[in-house]
Amino acid sequence: MFSDSGCSNGYYHHQEGGAFPEHNSPRSPHRGRGRRRGRRGRSHDPSDAPAFGASRVADAERREEQKPPPCTDFDMAYFHSYAHLGIHEEMIKDRVRTDTYRAAIMRHQSSIAGKVVVDVGCGTGILSIFCAQAGAKRVYAVDASDIAVQANEVVKANNLSDTVIVLHGRVEDVEIDEEVDVIISEWMGYMLLYESMLGSVITARDRWLKPGGLILPSNATLYMAPVTHSDRYSDSIDFWRNVYGIDMSAMLPLAKQCAFEEPCIETISGENVLTWPHVVKHVDCYTVTLGELESVTTRYKFKSMMRAPLHGFAFWFDVEFNGPAISPANNHVSSSFIESSNNQSADVSQRKKRANPSEALVLSTAPEDPPTHWQQTMVFFYDPIDLEQDQLIDGSLTLTQSRENRRFMNIHLEYTSGGRSFVKESVMR
- 354-365 burial: b if 16+ Cβ within 10 Å, else e: eeeeeebbbbbb
Cis peptide before 384 (omega within 30 of 0): no
Instruction: Note every long-range contact of 38-44, with CB atoms under 8 Å and residues 24 or more positions apart, other chains counting.
Output: 38/68, 38/170, 38/171, 38/172, 38/173, 38/174, 38/175, 38/203, 38/207, 39/63, 39/66, 39/67, 39/68, 39/172, 39/203, 39/206, 39/207, 40/175, 40/207, 42/207
d(CA 81, CA 134): 30
Q: Which candidate, 264, 185, 280, 177, places its Cα nearest to that of 223?
A: 280
Kindly state the helix (H) or strand (E) to which residue 351 belongs, with its residue range.
helix 343-355
Count of C-beta atoms within a 10 Å radius of residue 369: 15
Residue among 61, 65, 178, 186 flagged as catalytic: 186
Q: Which candidate, 334, 324, 338, places its Cα nearest to that of 51?
A: 324
Is 320 one of the catalytic residues? no
What is the C-alpha R_g of the chain?
22
d(CA 14, CA 408): 26
Residue among 172, 195, 320, 339 flagged as catalytic: 195
d(CA 37, CA 123): 10
Please list the alpha-helical segments (H only) found in 197-330.
Answer: 198-208, 230-236, 252-260, 290-294
Main-chain dihedrals φ then ψ at residue 345, nearest 5 degrees: -65, -40
d(CA 54, CA 42): 17
d(CA 335, CA 329): 11
Is 186 one of the catalytic residues? yes
Residue pair 87/31 in contact by the 8 Å Cβ criterion: no
Residues annotated catalytic, as ranges = 186, 195
